[in-house]
Amino acid sequence: MHHRHLGITGLQVPIVGFGASPLGGVFGPVETGEAAQAVAAAIDLGIDLFDVAPYYGLTRAETVLGDALSTIPRDRYTLATKVGRYGADEFDFTAERVLRSIEESLRRLRVETVDIITCHDIEFVPLEQVIGEAVPALHRARDQGKARFIGVSGLPLSIYSHVLDQVPLDTILSYCHHTLFDAGLAEQLPYLQAQRVGVINASPFAMGLLTAGPLPDWHPAGEDIRAACRAAADHCARRGASLARLSLQFSVSNPGIPTTLTGIRSRREVEQNAAWVAEPMDAGLLAEVEAILAPIRGRSWRSGRSANS
């Protein structure tokens, strides 16, 4: 698995990272043995960045991942978790809760330190609270040796400049903005690189839109986006190809975006992702799919407070 530098952190991260939210059972039950096999296979194949959060499975994902990693030497993987979001509508970015959350995550993950701690989905709260309370708390945790690097995440791209113009960060985690129909994250790269920030991309399949499978009921995309993506998936199927494979290959192709997280729940998915990114991307198919998706180019959906979108 090819690795890239994550900003100026010094971390070498794989172009495909292990998104651990499925280990919390959010897409169906995952047996402990199945999770352990997936994690071991990922490390063997060089997918050695693991990203998780207390929100995923309401802490279950952290517990399952911690168990799976417990027999693996700590220097063989990069570990990231989050603070601030604890339920569908439960957010708390106060300094006290951030520090307590870190301690809880360390216990569940069975480690003494994590490599990256990220403020999770900050668009749902006043950004001044993130800047004034959460980020200083993360700095305190870093000074105490409980985290090496700190960052923020969320859907609206505007949140990054708002925060970074006021406080320095090591990383940002953006999702659904470097896909076959949305190049918004790539457009932000000159600014982010000038800030010397490590860029983490997530959700290359746009939370299931860019696959042939059914969408979850909670998906926020409008019908026009859904219809265009279904047409793209049908076109790939007629060509004997996979829209999901093309989507992942596209998302890892930009050298300015060091890593792309994708949700993984099994050894089969680990092996499939590793095989896909090792294959050359079909330029002809890419052009055809981009033409189908052209009517929704740059389209997204609202997330969080209107003041932060």
Which residues are known catalytic residues? Answer: 56
Per-residue b or e along 173-200, where b marks 16 or more CB atoms closer than 10 Å to that residue's CB: bbbbbbbbbbeebeebeeebeeeebbbb
Q: Measured between alpha carbons, how far is 150 from 9 in angstroms, rounded to an integer? A: 10
Provide the 3-class DSSP secondary structure of residue 63: helix
Asked whether 51 and 91 are in contact (CB, 8 A), the reply is: no
Find tokens 């991260």 and name the residue.
13
Q: Measured between alpha carbons, how far is 235 from 233 in angstroms, rounded to an integer? A: 5
- Strand locations in 141-258 (E): 147-154, 171-175, 198-202
Q: Measured between alpha carbons, how far is 117 from 145 in angstroms, rounded to an integer? A: 12
Asked whether 157 and 122 are in contact (CB, 8 A), the reply is: no
